[in-house]
Amino acid sequence: MFALFISITQSPAATRSNGSILSPWYKLIPSLPTLRQLLKTHPERLLLLAPLIFAAHVLEEAPGIVSPGYVPWFNSIVARPLPQTGFLRDNIQPFAIIALISLLAAVVKRRWAMYIMLAWLSFYMFANAIFHVVATLVIWRYAPGAVTAVVLYLPYFWWFVSDLRTRFRAGPDIILLITALAGLPMFLQGYMIVFKHSRFY
């Protein structure tokens, strides 16, 4: 099949009209160098991925979509259970907040806006991802949300901090301070859930 594909694409008919029979649709797909150049010239566009990543995480946690659900998992290990209904509805507000924050940071392109976004990401992404990973390893049972926490949350947070350091010249001390303070409630909540089988809120 591969040899046939090569022979077709190298035939005279294939090389007519801009050099390739694939050119009508192939040119619509940006090459990797083009993507790198886009991210280099407009890195702020990646900020707009934050609400989409958050939504993907919520969908993984939602009951019956791609997992049994975060709430049933939570209620199986914590004495004070969470309500079984309204999970998606409860996440509409944080989704709207991160959408507005990421849009603000992408538009104004100022360090103070990035610090606001860092605080949000530290709580909802970084600390939340650490909780999911630790919970899965300690309890040795899949915690719904762990996949997107590892595949999306942690890499995106790492990129965001790197961008904050390079493009906005933010110092590691202020980044660490904001991350620690903003993530502290989630860190404490995660500790209570995993090790004490209880919760603060």
Average the pLDDT over 54-63 and give the result. Answer: 95
Q: Is residue 2 part of a domain?
A: no
Rg (CA), the chain: 22
Q: Is residue 134 part of a domain?
A: yes
Q: Is residue 40 part of a domain?
A: no
Give the sign of the dihedral formed by CA 89, CA 91, CA 95, CA 97.
Answer: positive
Q: Is residue 91 part of a domain?
A: yes
Q: Is residue 58 part of a domain?
A: yes
pLDDT at residue 192, as a whole number: 94
Residue 64 confidence (pLDDT) above 90: no
pTM of full prediction above 0.75: yes
Contacts of 165 (CB under 8 A, 6+ apart): 172, 175
pLDDT in tens, 169-182: 999 999 999 999 99
DSSP string, 127-167: IHHHHHHHHHHHHTS--TTHHHIIIIIHHHHHHHHHHHHHT
Domain membership of residue 161 as a residue range: 47-196
Residue 10 confidence (pLDDT) above 70: no
Average the pLDDT over 107-117 and give the result. Answer: 95
pLDDT at residue 19, as a whole number: 44
**Total number of domains in the chain:** 1
Q: Say which DSSP state 109 is in.
A: -
